[in-house]
Amino acid sequence: MLTTAQAEEMLKTLKLTIAVPSLIKAKSDPFETLIVTIISQNTADKNTQTAFERLKQRYPITPESLTEANTAQIEECIKPAGLYKNKTCAIQTASKAIREKYGGSLNVLLALPLEEARKTLIGMSGVGPKTADVVLLFSAQKPTIPVDTHVNRVSKRLGIAPKAGGYEAVRLSLQELFVENDYLFVHQLLIGHGRQFCKAKKPLCNSCPINIYCDTKGAF
């Protein structure tokens, strides 16, 4: 396990070498972040972007509009992202809940203490821990680290999260190791690193800029 100082050095190297993914922007509208994140599940960024743009051209991205929208038309808009029936169901269920329980805005919910806001978001059908954490981190600047497939794989290979740990174990290990101000960078840079170097099937360990910190370098 890295020390806090080593983790900080490693993050500095990643900041200098890895391109930050740009699908979700920091401080973007929370409801838009929620919808983009639902669409992005198991989908490449390019297809998510296409699907979201098609949806945005057809409907205003608000809980009211998406609750009342025609289900088949939402499905048609987000088809390029795959799993479009399940995602449409999640979008409309979450929209309805936000409209009915929170007056059509996520702001009241996001102003709650972190754990309460997180629990409430996760309680919505179709919103899992990663989606909730993305909304909380990007749109409410709350100190949490969303763990997607890249963050999970890279942090376990590096030895900074328990190898057999589930979502919460990985998230809490990363949050303990890094300072809160860096949580957004940690999330974005581990994703970027997973795409560029620490690929699922054939990681590029010899050219990996942080291989001196890695537990599993050369194991592939």
**Contact positions vs ligand SF4 (CB under 6 A):** 154, 157-158, 197-198, 203-205, 208, 210-211, 214, 216-217
Give the nearer residue to ligand SF4 in terms of CB position, either 32 or 182: 182
Give the nearer residue to ligand SF4 in terms of CB position, either 63 or 194: 194
Residues 6+ apart with CB under 8 A from 79: 51
Give the nearer residue to ligand SF4 in terms of CB position, either 70 or 220: 220
Give the nearer residue to ligand SF4 in terms of CB position, either 99 or 150: 150
Give the nearer residue to ligand SF4 in terms of CB position, either 176 or 215: 215
Nearest approach, Cβ of residue 197 and ligand SF4 (Å): 5
Residue 131, token pair as written in the block = 């989606």
Q: What's the CA gap between 65 and 28, in Å, rounded?
A: 19
Backbone angles phi, psi at 144, to 5 degrees: -145, 155
Residues 6+ apart with CB under 8 A from 138: 24, 25, 26, 27, 28, 33, 184
Q: How many CB atoms lie within 10 A of CB 20?
A: 14
Helix boundaries (H) for the chain: 4-17, 30-40, 45-58, 63-68, 71-78, 84-102, 107-110, 114-122, 129-134, 140, 149-158, 167-177, 183-196
Give the nearer residue to ligand SF4 in terms of CB position, either 110 or 147: 147
Nearest approach, Cβ of residue 202 and ligand SF4 (Å): 9
Nearest approach, Cβ of residue 198 and ligand SF4 (Å): 3
Nearest approach, Cβ of residue 147 and ligand SF4 (Å): 16
Nearest approach, Cβ of residue 164 and ligand SF4 (Å): 17
Nearest approach, Cβ of residue 194 and ligand SF4 (Å): 8
One-character DSSP codes across 147-177: --HHHHHHHHHHTSS-TT--HHHHHHHHHHH
